């Protein structure tokens, strides 16, 4: 029986295309990206944890990657799964801190899609393709994910395909639900949509 999932905000990126700026602290329409993502995720989950490898200005618990090498978003997901396991949760829902327009029905749609997977694993998809950092992850994936990273793999898509993740399909919207802010130009575009 699955209880309401915990939320994981992936904020561990290096922000290299932003000149090394911490994306979580970037301002969009007078609020930080982190606070915008929290506001969108909070009504959909039981509790939230933030994955970051730098000190963050946040009242939420912050956990670092599961490994000391910067291995990308899957290392953050693994840290979130470890945290969820310690807190007695069965599933986490991951979102990226640089994607402030993700759907307000993300979690219910992922939960529904996950019904077709034996462990309840599902990721978001649009006509553009798969959005693997937006997913519902069963805690039972901890060992396969740790092994995947240990073997030197990094690609989210490779892992989701290997695990047969179900997909929750979201319609095209304006602004695009999974528009992510990687550059100053992206941030300006997001400001325009606001």
Establish whether 20 is an annotated binding residue: no
Establish whether 65 is an annotated binding residue: yes
Checking DSSP bridges between strand 48-51 and strand 62-63, what pairing results, if any? parallel
Establish whether 34 is an annotated binding residue: no
Establish whether 12 is an annotated binding residue: yes
Closest C-alpha among 20, 24, 30, 22 to residue 48: 24
Establish whether 147 is an annotated binding residue: no
Closest C-alpha among 65, 57, 64, 41 to residue 134: 41
Establish whether 189 is an annotated binding residue: no
**Cβ-Cβ contacts under 8 Å for 188 (sequence gap 6 or more):** none
Closest C-alpha among 20, 24, 110 to residue 60: 24
Helix axes 142-150, 73-86, angle to 10 degrees: 150
Full DSSP string of 41-79: HGGGSS-EEEE-SS----SS-EE--SSSS---HHHHHHH
Q: What length does the chain have? A: 194
SS3 assignment, position 12: coil
Establish whether 51 is an annotated binding residue: yes
Instruction: Mark the binding-site residues for GTP, compressed into ranges.
Output: 10-12, 23, 51, 65, 98
Instruction: Mark the binding-site residues for Mg(2+), compressed into ranges.
Output: 98
Instruction: Mark the binding-site residues, compressed into ranges.
Output: 10-12, 23, 51, 65, 98
């Amino acid at each position: 029986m699955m209880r309401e999932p915990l939320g994981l905000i992936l904020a561990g990126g290096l922000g290299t295309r932003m000149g090394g700026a911490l994306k979580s602290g970037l301002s969009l329409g007078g609020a930080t990206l982190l606070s915008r993502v929290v506001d969108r995720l909070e009504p959909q989950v039981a509790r939230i944890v933030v994955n970051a490898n730098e000190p963050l200005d946040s009242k939420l618990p912050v956990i670092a990657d599961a490994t000391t090498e910067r291995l990308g978003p899957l290392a953050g997901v693994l840290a979130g799964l470890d945290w969820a396991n310690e807190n007695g949760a069965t599933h986490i829902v991951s979102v990226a801190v640089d994607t402030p327009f993700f759907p307000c029905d993300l979690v219910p749609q992922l939960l529904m899609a996950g019904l077709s997977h034996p462990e309840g694993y599902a990721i978001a998809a649009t006509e553009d393709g798969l959005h693997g950092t937006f997913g519902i992850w069963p805690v039972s994936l901890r060992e396969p994910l740790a092994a995947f990273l240990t073997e030197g793999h990094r690609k989210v898509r490779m892992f989701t395909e290997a695990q047969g993740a179900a997909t929750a399909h979201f319609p095209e919207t304006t602004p695009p639900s999974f528009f992510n802010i990687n550059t100053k130009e992206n941030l300006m575009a997001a400001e325009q949509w606001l």
